[in-house]
Amino acid sequence: MSDRKSSCSKLEGVDMMLDTGNTSGDGTGNTSGDGTGNTSGDGTGNTSGDGTGNTSGDGTGNTSGDDTGNTSGDGTGNTSCYDTGNTSGDGTGNTVCDDTGNTPGCDSCNASCCDTHNTGCYDTGNTSGVGTGNTSGDGTGNTSGDGTGNTSGDGTGNTSGDGTGNP
């Protein structure tokens, strides 16, 4: 029976060193641990935490909380007796309060020149409002920044190196 000697191969002259070399342990070399390098942890870097960066929390960036930006709460924004911004409040752009195109008349035998039986010249009975009525801002309400909130760098947050984190 012949002697058997186990042969083991080994690596010679190889330094055991990490091949990633990232500053922090997230595998991408980002300065903070959110994976995108944003300063805050909401993933979009918006100033407030509503996900859209609006100044107030109504989701549309309007100054007041009526969700459509009307100056007062009428929901459709008619100024006085106007349906679609005509000169004298009718539904089809006629000169005098009527919905079917008659010069002085009403919609269908209403007593006071109205569209839906309101007592005075209204299509939906609203008393004030302007339709959109945002008092200021651009409709998005972002206070500052570019919408991504990265404070500096190239958008990946690698502190140094060639993009893979190798030293």
pLDDT digits (tens, 9 = 90+) for 32-73: 444 444 443 444 444 433 444 443 333 444 433 333 333 333
pLDDT digits (tens, 9 = 90+) for 90-144: 344 433 444 444 334 334 333 344 444 333 433 443 334 333 443 443 444 444 4
Cα separation, 130 vs 64, in Å, equals 14
pTM exceeds 0.75: no
* Contacts for 39 with CB less than 8 Å, ≥ 6 apart: 32, 45, 149, 150, 151
Closest Cα partner for 81 from 106, 48, 102, 108?
106
- Residue 122: DSSP 8-state: -
Q: Tell me how crowded residue 108 is: count the other CB atoms within 10 A of its CB.
A: 10
Contact between 92 and 99 under an 8 Å Cβ cutoff? The reply is: yes
